[in-house]
Amino acid sequence: MNIQTFITNYREAFGTQAELPIAFWYSNQPEITIEKVNGCLFKCMKQVRDGKSISLSNETITCGGGKFYTGFSEMPERVPGFVSLKEKYKKTPETVIDFLQELQVPRTEYTYLHFARIDKIPSFEIAEGILFLVTPDMLSGLATWAYFDNNAPDAVAAPFGSGCCSVVTQAILENRKQGKRTFLGFFDPSVRPYFENDILSFTIPMSRFREMYFTMRESCLFDTHAWTKIKERLESVKKAASPVTAPLSFPILPGITLREVTMADAAAIYHAIDTHREYLRKWLPFVDNMSSVADEEAFLESVLHVPSDRYEPIFGVWNNHDEICGLIGFHFSDFANHRTEIGYWLLPEYQHRGIITTGVRSLCQWVVKEKNMKRIQIRCAVGNKASNAIPLRLGFHHEGTERAGELLSTGEYTDIHVYSILKEEILAER
């Protein structure tokens, strides 16, 4: 099995812009050192999709279920209750226990679990399985290919399980019995925020891929009228989805980058807000109105789909795992008078590192140069000491205080301090 031959065939079948699938495998040597992943291990997949190999271990996976399903630990005692009583994926903890006893998740003897795009690995022989991130049209082709040489009713299976279970655990179990099944997954709501809303996982264990590799060109994916029409649509969707310019992005601190948000970021932003809701709502009244991904999408729609001369960019603060840490953005701009305002929020675990200070400084310099803004304003609730410290640290002038300037989520009004800085004052800093 030759990787380059497969890539050539794959792109001929699914289009030249088709995203390459991802291989995963175990070993005792790390491919690359990676920091702890807070929460779902699939947060790292953005890096892999961009061409970076990652190595996960019992120490870097923080999700108890993730450790268990990847074979690094025994099942934590809290998992059955969490899956049923908290997440409500199963009716009772006993149902979860029965499921896990039936599944029999194997423990791994290795130290690391690796993920890498197939063009970044030396051979298919190292892999446990191949993970495809698929839209419905892509799934049509992959599933039909999986059914091509057999009549098995479970040639494409969609068993219950977390994202890591449907990808990693099922592939390992299938390989151990030299099985023929492929697996459709990412139905777990917990994993979905880390992928586009039209993406599912399709995993081919190596015990099956070794057969399917040789049947690909015989299947409907080549030289059929029906698939040609689907391929044309795949190509047109890719072309339509390609932005004219890439989102503006620049590093501000080691491991921290500012990047313009897009509609594709809605789920990640909402997840960050929702998991820190009680903390954020104290000073951010909008949090109570943000109750679903659709709410975040509606907000981004209102920001992004405006005439270019009225566009107010919002920048996500991203760490090196492509996780959202906060937002810094422009709003309430008066373009005729070259005035704008900056707002910001940051998750608690990333505070006291100079992230917002550095980010606001960078965006002030950017907006006066690129957008010719004369005046930048920051407004902070008088009781929010951390927020007020930012403009003071950056040389903004305190101009006064708006009495009862904002209604908080508690139903109480708060006074608002108003700070400003002018273009010449920003340029003088350099």
Residue 416 to residue 271: CA distance in whole angstroms: 28
- Does residue 230 sit in the same domain as residue 254? no
| pTM given for the model | 0.61
**Residues 281, 423 within the same domain:** yes
C-alpha distances in Å from residue 86, one per residue of 66, 81, 92, 94, 174: 17, 7, 10, 14, 30
Question: Which pair of tokens denotes residue 416?
Answer: 């608002």
Q: Is 86 part of any domain? A: no
User: Residue 51's pLDDT is what?
Assistant: 82
Q: Write the CB contacts of 98 (distance below 8 Å, at least 6 apart in sequence).
A: none
Residue 309 shares a structural domain with residue 217: no
CA–CA dist 193, 177 (Å, integer): 33
Domain identity same for 317 and 192: no
Q: Looking at the structure, tell me whether residues 203 and 275 fall in a common domain.
A: no
CB 113 within 8 A of CB 70: yes
Please check whether residues 292 and 226 belong to one and the same domain. no
308 and 394 belong to one structural domain: yes
Distance of CA 418 to the CA centre of its chain: 35
- Domain of residue 166, residue span: 3-72+107-240
Phi-psi region of 104 (alpha: psi -120 to 50; beta: other; left: phi over 0): left
pLDDT for position 83? 86
> Is the domain of 150 the same as that of 27?
yes
Whether residue 373 lies inside any domain: the answer is yes
Q: Tell me, yes or no, whether 214 and 256 share the same domain.
A: no
pLDDT at 242: 43
Residue at which a domain ends, from 240, 273, 304 = 240
For residue 379, the cross-strand partners are 418
User: What tokens were used for 79?
Assistant: 């998992």
Residue 289 shares a structural domain with residue 360: yes
Interval 344-376: pLDDT, tens: 999 999 999 999 999 999 999 999 998 999 999
pLDDT in tens, 152-205: 999 999 999 899 999 999 999 999 999 999 999 999 988 888 888 889 999 999
Residue 111 lies in a domain: yes
| Shared domain check, 258 and 196 | no
> Of 177, 207, 240, which closes a domain?
240
pLDDT in the model for residue 136: 94
Q: Measured on CA atoms in the order 26, 31, 37, 39, is the torsion positive or negative? A: negative
How many angstroms from the chain centroid is the CA of residue 36? 16
Which residues pair with residue 407 across a beta bridge? 413
pLDDT score recorded for residue 78:
85
Residues 208 and 241: their CA atoms lie apart, in Å, by 33
Tokens 């998992």, located at residue: 79
- 311 occurs within a structural domain: yes
What pLDDT, on the 0 to 100 scale, is given for residue 104?
Answer: 92
Low-confidence ranges of the chain (pLDDT < 50): 242-244
Is residue 96 situated within a structural domain? no
**Structural domain tally of the chain?**
2
What is the model's pLDDT at position 143? 96
- Domain finish residue from 212, 240, 268: 240
CA distance 166 to 160: 7
Could you tell me if residue 316 is inside a domain? yes
Antiparallel, parallel or unpaired: β 129-134 and 200-205: antiparallel
Q: Is residue 92 part of a domain?
A: no
**CATH code of the domain in which 338 resides:** 3.40.630.30
- The answer to whether residues 256 and 132 belong to one domain is no
Within-domain flag for 346:
yes
